[in-house]
Amino acid sequence: EAQYEFIIASKPNPTVTLITLNRPKALNALSSPLFHELNHALAQAELDKDVGAVVLTGSEKAFAAGADIKEMKDIEFAEAYGNNFLSHWTQITEMKKPVIAAVSGYALGGGCELAMMCDIILASPTAKFGQPEINLGIIPGAGGTQRLTHALGKSRAMEIILTGKNISALDAEKWGLVSRVVAEGEGEVVKEAIELAKTIASKGRLSVMAAKESVNTSYELGLREGLHFERRLFQSLFATKDQKEGMSAFAEKRKAAFTNQ
């Protein structure tokens, strides 16, 4: 395992990579060095043939309190624009393997945006989501105005983004921002996320990859193109051994043994 300064990468199970953001003194503020380590760990997980899903988490107090305000406070427009500031944040959205965010405490600004870049969000009852950028004289810069609007609808997204107020775990669940709130207790949300990751990792890798790609397409394209894309991907899976195995196993009343081919 690679050694990092601002994150911890581990494998709680041979099929699952767990990445823990680890800048406790700054509530996991997402500095550039932290992001470079995160991108490295994600690339490793993507390459690891045993790994079928990734869990991304923070601490009990904070998933992440946003982009590092101290690091960016003196940036001028020319530098932000010229160097395409925050472009190093998007690698996680290119992952083929599913990424599950396990959120406890603050997921604010870039922290909320990072969670929303993941495929599934599980929340602890302590989770607090929000886009407080308006209080800093800026707007969300890593997808918040787009993904939050997608998740909550226009009126709620507007209220949250224009006021900077937080969303409780319960509201996040009610409004569909997270898939569920887990039971109270330290480490509970990470445990649940690892279980979920193990379940996903036990499926055929090709169909998981295709399913993720197809769901994401519904995000990015209109319904007509999305349905067309889904149909083609669906048809293409009939070229895989996993499809033959999965369907034969069902007909023979046994558990499928996927070979990811």
- Contacting residues toward ligand CAA, per CB under 6 A: 26-27, 29, 65-70, 86, 106, 108-110, 113, 132-133, 136, 140-142, 144
Shortest distance, position 83 Cβ to ligand CAA, whole Å: 15
Q: Decide whether 110 or 204 has the Cβ nearer to ligand CAA.
A: 110
Q: Decide whether 30 or 55 has the Cβ nearer to ligand CAA.
A: 30
Shortest distance, position 111 Cβ to ligand CAA, whole Å: 7
Q: Decide whether 102 or 108 has the Cβ nearer to ligand CAA.
A: 108
Q: Report the alpha-carbon distance of residue 59 to residue 238 in Å, rounded.
A: 42
Shortest distance, position 125 Cβ to ligand CAA, whole Å: 17
Q: Decide whether 127 or 206 has the Cβ nearer to ligand CAA.
A: 127
Cite the DSSP H helix spans in 107-240.
110-117, 144-152, 154-163, 169-174, 188-201, 205-220, 223-236
Q: Out of 41, 67, 101, 210, which one is annotated catalytic?
A: 67
CB 109 within 8 A of CB 65: yes
**Is 110 noted as a catalytic residue in this protein?**
yes
**Is 133 noted as a catalytic residue in this protein?**
yes
Shortest distance, position 203 Cβ to ligand CAA, whole Å: 33
| Strand 128-130 relative to strand 167-168, pairing | antiparallel
Q: Out of 110, 111, 144, 204, which one is annotated catalytic?
A: 110
Q: Out of 53, 66, 101, 113, which one is annotated catalytic?
A: 113
Shortest distance, position 151 Cβ to ligand CAA, whole Å: 16
CB 160 within 8 A of CB 148: yes
Q: Out of 26, 102, 107, 133, which one is annotated catalytic?
A: 133
Q: Report the alpha-carbon distance of residue 102 to residue 114 in Å, rounded.
A: 11
3-state secondary structure of 54: strand
For residue 30, what are its two tokens?
């997402």
**Hey, how many other C-beta atoms are within 10 angstroms of the C-beta on 202?**
14
Q: Decide whether 75 or 247 has the Cβ nearer to ligand CAA.
A: 75
Q: Report the alpha-carbon distance of residue 216 to residue 221 in Å, rounded.
A: 9
Burial of 49 (0-12, 13-18, 19+ CB in 10 A): exposed
Active-site residue list = 67, 110, 113, 133
